[in-house]
């Protein structure tokens, strides 16, 4: 990355960090959601932009992690971020391992069609079974916490946590794309 691009990225992250100082609760919530989708978009850029694998099932793994969060969380009280975050990542990674083992054996348009088929199966499970809550979906009763100092139910804390995760993902992908991998 050249200097001007690095400066632009740094300014964007500084602007995102300053959002809680100038925005109200709605603005903070909106920017936080945008940052979550930006993390998703970075993963899509890695898959489609860098490897050339057009995948129609990318959102299924995003959803599997989200549904794992709700299904693994206790109904009363907030789950600990120390175990719920790795558990959700492992659920999504396990599904990716199973689906990838089958989908990566195909090439071209067949890969696209296999990923579309798996995406439709994930949609069916989330939308048409009691596991996913049907068309109404399921809801998280309390956002995860990390001891006494990190409560993600507070908008500014969730914003800062999401910004930190987004920066970590951005740096990780930048380093990975510069490597021989």
Angstrom distance (rounded) from CA 7 to CA 68 = 37
Angstrom distance (rounded) from CA 116 to CA 111 = 9
Angstrom distance (rounded) from CA 11 to CA 3 = 12
What residues does each domain of the chain span? 3-178
Angstrom distance (rounded) from CA 140 to CA 151 = 14
Instruction: Please give the model's pTM, rounded to 2 decimal places.
Output: 0.80
pLDDT score of 60: 87
Least confident of 20-34, 51-65, 83-97, 155-169: 51-65
pLDDT at 53 over 80: no
113: number of Cβ within 10 Å: 13
- The per-residue pLDDT for range 116-152, each reduced to its tens digit, is 899 898 888 888 888 777 777 787 777 777 877 777 7
CB 153 within 8 A of CB 143: yes
* Residues facing 151 on adjacent strands: 145
CB 161 within 8 A of CB 85: no
- The per-residue pLDDT for range 170-180, each reduced to its tens digit, is 999 888 888 77
Structure token pair of residue 136? 């109404």
pLDDT at 181 over 70: no
């Amino acid at each position: 990355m050249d200097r001007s691009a690095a400066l632009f990225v740094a300014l964007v992250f500084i602007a995102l960090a300053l959002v809680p100082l100038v925005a109200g609760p709605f603005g903070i919530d909106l920017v936080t959601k945008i940052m979550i989708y930006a993390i998703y978009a970075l993963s899509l850029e890695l898959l489609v932009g860098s490897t050339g694998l057009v995948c129609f099932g990318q959102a299924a793994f995003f959803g599997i992690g989200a549904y794992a969060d709700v299904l693994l969380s206790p109904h009363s009280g907030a789950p600990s971020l120390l175990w719920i975050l790795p558990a959700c990542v492992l659920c999504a990674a396990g599904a990716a391992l199973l689906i990838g083992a089958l989908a990566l054996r195909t090439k071209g348009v067949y890969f696209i069609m296999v990923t579309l088929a798996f995406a439709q199966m994930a949609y069916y499970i989330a939308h048409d079974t009691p596991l996913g809550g049907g068309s109404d979906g399921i809801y998280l009763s309390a956002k995860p916490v990390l001891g006494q100092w990190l409560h993600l139910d507070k908008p500014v804390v969730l914003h800062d946590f999401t910004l930190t995760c987004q920066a970590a993902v951005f740096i990780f992908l930048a380093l990975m794309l510069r490597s021989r991998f």
